[in-house]
């Protein structure tokens, strides 16, 4: 069974991992840490239970030693409209586990189109101009720099992967499959203690047309489906259109390397706003918050 095949439509349901049978569980590590992560994520991230469940599941598997060796701890694809918490949830995980939302290594795929830009990620080969000066963003030291005595996990976020160039794409496929990256100077970087998150707004327009089915002349405000009134069927349709858009755009080779595909749902007025306490441990003020008074959460600009 491929990794994606076990995802179900929206990545929900049973675990996507082909679990090794010869690994012994360490029950002493399953409970409290995963529970703490779960409650921290629920405090910091509003209304994305599906994503939280999937993240906690994979974290729990890593804690018990069940994740397959030679692979990243988890490969996630997050789809959904802008400003729904795709980036926030990764920062919240880092904050909860290693104490800082800044522990996330963020790669905006749109910025790495040309080979000289890829060198910012992997460094230039020896002999090339700037070989000594460039410190690759994806070196082992950089990705491990926020490891703590207790938590040896790295959080790598590839934003807007649909904009990745071919060379970045190849590099990404190698990381997702073998947890390995070869730097410009041939050193290997091991991603087997990394969680890889990829985001895309693919399918977002189809999702909004499900919420606002009657576009063009004659559109009345009341025609739009209020995100608060989303029933299970509409949520399912939104998830389906996200996954379909991803399947059309990305190769099976890529989709099969994913553990979880999660479609982030539009947020509505009924979702509780984060309280001051929710953000008390976040040092920086959230940029472009979709919870500013007067703004509509599902349409607020993201990061």
Ligand X SMILES: Nc1ncnc2c1ncn2[C@@H]1O[C@H](COP(=O)(O)OP(=O)(O)OP(=O)(O)O)[C@@H](O)[C@H]1O
Using CB atoms, what's the residue nearest to ligand X? Answer: 302
Residue list 76-95, contact with Mg ion (CB under 5 A): 86-87
Tokens read off for 67? 């994740």
Residue list 209-268, contact with Mg ion (CB under 5 A): none
Query: Do 55 and 92 contact (CB within 8 A), yes or no?
Result: no
User: Does 303 engage in binding with Mg ion (CB under 5 A)?
Assistant: yes
**DSSP per position, 6-29:** GG-SSS-SS--S---SSPPP-GGG
Instruction: Please state the closest distance from residue 79 (CB atom) to ligand X, in A.
Output: 9
Per partner kind, with CB cut-offs from 5 to 8 A, the member of ligand X, Mg ion, none near residue 286 is ligand X
**DSSP per position, 31-72:** HHHHHHHHHHHHHHS-S-HHHHHHHHHHHHHHHTT-SPTTS-
Residues that bind ligand X (CB under 6 A): 45-48, 82-88, 199, 201, 267, 274, 286, 288-290, 302-303
Instruction: Please state the closest distance from residue 44 (CB atom) to ligand X, in A.
Output: 6
Q: Which is nearer to ligand X, 63 or 82 (CB)?
A: 82
In angstroms, the CA 5 to CA 3 distance is 6
Query: Do 55 and 219 contact (CB within 8 A), yes or no?
Result: no
In angstroms, the CA 192 to CA 181 distance is 11
Per partner kind, with CB cut-offs from 5 to 8 A, the member of ligand X, Mg ion, none near residue 47 is ligand X
Query: Would you put residue 83 in left (φ > 0), alpha (ψ -120 to 50) or beta?
Result: left
Q: Which is nearer to ligand X, 115 or 288 (CB)?
A: 288
Q: Which is nearer to ligand X, 160 or 177 (CB)?
A: 160
Q: Which is nearer to ligand X, 183 or 207 (CB)?
A: 207
Closest CA to 139 of 123, 153, 115: 123
Instruction: Please state the closest distance from residue 267 (CB atom) to ligand X, in A.
Output: 6
What sections of the chain are H helices per DSSP? 31-44, 49-63, 86-98, 115-122, 140-144, 166-178, 204-211, 232-249, 252-255
Instruction: Please state the closest distance from residue 82 (CB atom) to Mg ion, in A.
Output: 7
Q: Rounded to an integer, what is the distance from CA 85 to the centroid of its chain?
A: 10
User: Does 289 engage in binding with Mg ion (CB under 5 A)?
Assistant: no
In angstroms, the CA 272 to CA 285 distance is 19
Per partner kind, with CB cut-offs from 5 to 8 A, the member of ligand X, Mg ion, none near residue 201 is ligand X
User: Does 302 engage in binding with Mg ion (CB under 5 A)?
Assistant: yes
Per partner kind, with CB cut-offs from 5 to 8 A, the member of ligand X, Mg ion, none near residue 296 is none
Per partner kind, with CB cut-offs from 5 to 8 A, the member of ligand X, Mg ion, none near residue 184 is none
Q: Which is nearer to ligand X, 63 or 201 (CB)?
A: 201
Q: Which residues bind Mg ion (CB under 5 A)?
A: 86-87, 302-303
């Amino acid at each position: 069974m491929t990794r994606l095949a076990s995802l179900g439509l929206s990545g929900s349901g049973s675990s996507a991992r082909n679990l090794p049978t010869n690994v012994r569980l360490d029950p002493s590590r399953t409970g409290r840490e995963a529970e703490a992560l779960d409650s921290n994520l629920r405090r910091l991230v509003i209304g994305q239970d599906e994503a939280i469940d999937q993240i906690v599941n994979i974290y729990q598997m890593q804690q018990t030693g069940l994740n397959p060796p030679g692979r990243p701890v988890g490969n996630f694809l997050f789809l959904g409209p802008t400003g729904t918490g795709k980036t926030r949830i990764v920062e919240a995980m880092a904050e909860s586990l290693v104490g800082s939302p800044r522990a996330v290594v963020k790669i905006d795929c749109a910025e790495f189109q040309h080979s000289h830009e890829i060198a910012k990620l992997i460094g230039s080969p020896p002999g090339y101009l700037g070989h000594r000066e460039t410190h690759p963003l994806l070196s082992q030291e950089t990705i491990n720099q926020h490891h703590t005595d207790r938590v040896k996990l790295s959080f790598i976020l590839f934003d807007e992967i649909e904009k990745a160039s071919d060379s970045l794409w190849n590099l990404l496929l190698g990381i997702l499959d073998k947890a390995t990256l070869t730097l410009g100077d041939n050193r290997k970087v091991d991603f087997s203690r990394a969680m890889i998150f990829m985001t895309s707004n693919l399918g977002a327009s189809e999702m909004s047309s499900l919420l606002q089915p009657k576009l063009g002349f004659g559109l009345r405000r009341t025609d739009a489906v209020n995100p608060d009134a989303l029933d299970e069927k509409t949520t399912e349709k939104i998830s389906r259109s996200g996954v379909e858009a991803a399947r059309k755009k990305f190769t099976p080779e890529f989709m099969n390397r994913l553990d979880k595909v999660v479609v982030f749902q539009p947020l509505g007025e009924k979702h509780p706003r984060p309280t001051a306490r929710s953000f008390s441990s976040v040092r920086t003020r959230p940029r472009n918050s979709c919870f500013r008074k007067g703004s509509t959460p599902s349409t607020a600009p993201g990061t």
